[in-house]
Amino acid sequence: MKEQLQSAPTFKRSLKLYHLTILGVAYMTPMIVYGIYGVIAATSHGQPAGAFTIGVVAMFFTAYSYCHMVKAFPIAGSSYTFTRKGLNPKIGFMTGWLILLDYLFIPMAIWLIGSSYFEAAIPAVPRWAWVIFFIVVTSILNIIGLKIGANVNIFLVLIQIMIIMAFIIFSVKAVMAGMGEDTITLTPFFKPNVPFDYVVAGAAISCYCYLGFDAITTFVEEAVEPEKNIPRAIMLTLLICGVAFVAASFFTALAHPSYNFANIDNASYEIAKIIAPPIFASILLAGVIIAQFASGVSAQASGARLLYAMGRDGVLPKKIFGVLNVRFNTPVRSILITGAVALFATTLDVTTSTSFINFGAFVAYILVNISVISHYFVRKKERNFGSVIKYLIFPALGALLVFYLLIHLDITAVRLGCGWSIIGFIILLYLTKMFKQDPPEMTIDE
């Protein structure tokens, strides 16, 4: 038995700080600001920069809580592990179930957005064909190994940054030429005559763009010096993408202050055709598609590793989910399952697939913030002045801010999220024999 345990494949620690940051940035996708710009501009009534700013502030406190928890529990599983260890196994299971919703549906949403732009560029090829193309290519990259995926993402992220910078330059030139606001103004952040609830509703949607920072924690078993590099990568990822989202939305709104579009799903393409040379609209199309590919690689990898963590824990069938491939040292079965789930994208639209992603993320974020208070402030009694700020005030603010965004989600998202939660609760009842025992406990690797 001992020989079998020693020969079992484990993750190789090969991901350094820049690998982790690139994976996080690729997952969050800087270009997604243009993919979802129309929805946020319309929801916030022309205050997209304000929406993105509120979103990143709310995420800052939660990201800080993740940094604390990854130091306490350095094992794959993300918020699932943190709430399981920081609160109790039953809450941990429900958190994992909710975050699993996100990790399964985010790749689907990513590939749907990319496929929509592909279809706009080449109408002769149906969207479902592009969805399958995305699934096959990203699955192969993730099966071969994360290091290859990370290196590919470096190139793809650089392309996104270049396109964002070009879009900002064209936006500034348009404003200087008398288009849009005709001057630099703060109206993309705040309009006194528009109710604040609109910008908060936009902020709730904008958090979809920030979901990638917590995905970094699922790579803790593959990271070099995870206690140091994972927290740094989390904050760097949030900072890089937060600045990019706010800047891009600010200058775009200055050049095109109207939030009425022919199609809000590709509003940035519509704006690019107005403020930039014709060739740039085509470049933007290519950029969005490339961005979705880069994000898809990271999103699928994170989802597969969460399935692996839950399978290794016995919450999901071990023989299917809790196994690493001996040749590639990756969770091949979990990768293939995430790809298979994404095939449902061929029958859905972007709105349907993304409507309840934020619900699961917000509930998980609230519980992670509470886990920091429970683990550090209550159990470990870290209660000096600095500890009160780090382990009580900051996580409490994080939980309250996220809850405030949660209650501003669309009612459809809340209903779908509650439905998914009920399914998870029924499974929990079965695993615990009506709460008579805990779900199977995860073993922390040394």
Model pLDDT for residues 23-42, shown as the tens digit of each residue: 788 777 788 899 889 889 99
Kindly give, in sequence order, each residue whose CB lies less than 8 Å from that of residue 292, ignoring residues fewer than 6 positions away: 29, 31, 35, 110, 111, 113, 114, 117, 134
Model pLDDT for residues 118-142, shown as the tens digit of each residue: 777 787 888 788 889 889 988 888 8
Kindly give, in sequence order, each residue whose CB lies less than 8 Å from that of residue 429, ignoring residues fewer than 6 positions away: 435
In a domain, 295, yes or no: yes
Give the chain's mean pLDDT.
84
The pLDDT of residue 215 is above 80: no
CA distance 7 to 167: 52
CA angle in degrees (0–180, nearest 5) for 421-424-428 = 135
pLDDT (mean) for 396-412: 91
Q: Give the model's pLDDT for residue 350.
A: 66
In a domain, 445, yes or no: no
In a domain, 279, yes or no: yes
| Residue 446 banded pLDDT, cuts 50, 70, 90 | very low
CA distance 340 to 37: 29
Q: Give the model's pLDDT for residue 11.
A: 60
Q: Contact, 206 vs 238, CB < 8 A?
A: no
Question: Which carries the bigger pLDDT value, residue 440 or residue 55?
Answer: 55
The pLDDT of residue 251 is above 80: yes
Residue 232 burial (CB < 10 Å; 0-12/13-18/19+)?
middle
In a domain, 246, yes or no: yes
Model pLDDT for residues 357-401, shown as the tens digit of each residue: 888 889 999 999 999 999 999 999 998 998 999 999 999 999 999
The pLDDT of residue 147 is above 60: no
Fill in the DSSP letter of residue 222: G
Q: Give the model's pLDDT for residue 3.
A: 44
Phi-psi region of 222 (alpha: psi -120 to 50; beta: other; left: phi over 0): alpha
Model pLDDT for residues 152-165, shown as the tens digit of each residue: 667 777 888 899 99
Domain count, the chain: 1
Q: Give the model's pLDDT for residue 351.
A: 62
In a domain, 443, yes or no: no
CA angle in degrees (0–180, nearest 5) for 179-246-226 = 155
Q: Give the model's pLDDT for residue 372.
A: 94
CA distance 196 to 190: 8
Terminal CA-CA length for the chain: 18
Q: Give the model's pLDDT for residue 32.
A: 87
Percent of residues, the chain, with pLDDT higher than 90: 29
For residue 424, what are its two tokens? 């998870």
Among the listed ranges 231-240, 282-291, 328-337, 419-428, which one has the minimum average pLDDT value?
Answer: 282-291
Residues composing the chain: 446
Q: Contact, 180 vs 174, CB < 8 A?
A: yes
The pLDDT of residue 331 is above 60: yes
Contacts 24+ apart (CB under 8 A), 68-71: 68/372, 68/376, 68/390, 68/391, 68/395, 69/217, 69/368, 69/371, 69/372, 69/375, 70/217, 70/220, 70/226, 70/227, 70/230, 70/231, 70/234, 71/227, 71/231
Among the listed ranges 106-110, 147-151, 290-294, which one has the minimum average pLDDT value?
Answer: 147-151
Q: For residue 406, what are the domain limits?
A: 12-431
Q: What is the SS3 assignment for the chain? A: CHHHHHHCCCCCCCECHHHHHHHHHHHHCCCHHHHCHHHHHHHCCCCHHHHHHHHHHHHHHHHHHHHHHHHHCCCCCCHHHHHHHHCCHHHHHHHHHHHHHHHHHHHHHHHHHHHHHHHHHCCCCCHHHHHHHHHHHHHHHHHHCHHHHHHHHHHHHHHHHHHHHHHHHHHHHHHHCCCCCCCCCCCCCCCCCCCHHHHHHHHHHHHHHHHHHHHHHHHHHHECCHHHHHHHHHHHHHHHHHHHHHHHHHHHHHHCCCCCCCCHHHHHHHHHHHHCCHHHHHHHHHHHHHHHHHHHHHHHHHHHHHHHHHHHCCCCCHHHHCCCCCCCCCCHHHHHHHHHHHHHHHHCCHHHHHCCHHHHHHHHHHHHHHHHHHHHHHHCCCCCHHHHHHHHHHHHHHHHHHHHHHCCCCHHHHHHHHHHHHHHHHHHHHHCCCCCCCCCCCCCCC
Question: Which carries the bigger pLDDT value, residue 375 or residue 301?
Answer: 375
pTM beyond 0.85: the answer is no
For residue 238, what are its two tokens? 């949030």
Q: Contact, 67 vs 217, CB < 8 A?
A: no
Model pLDDT for residues 262-295, shown as the tens digit of each residue: 878 778 888 998 999 989 988 998 888 877 777 7
In a domain, 244, yes or no: yes
Q: Kindly report the CATH number assigned to the domain that includes residue 335.
A: 1.20.1740.10
In a domain, 250, yes or no: yes
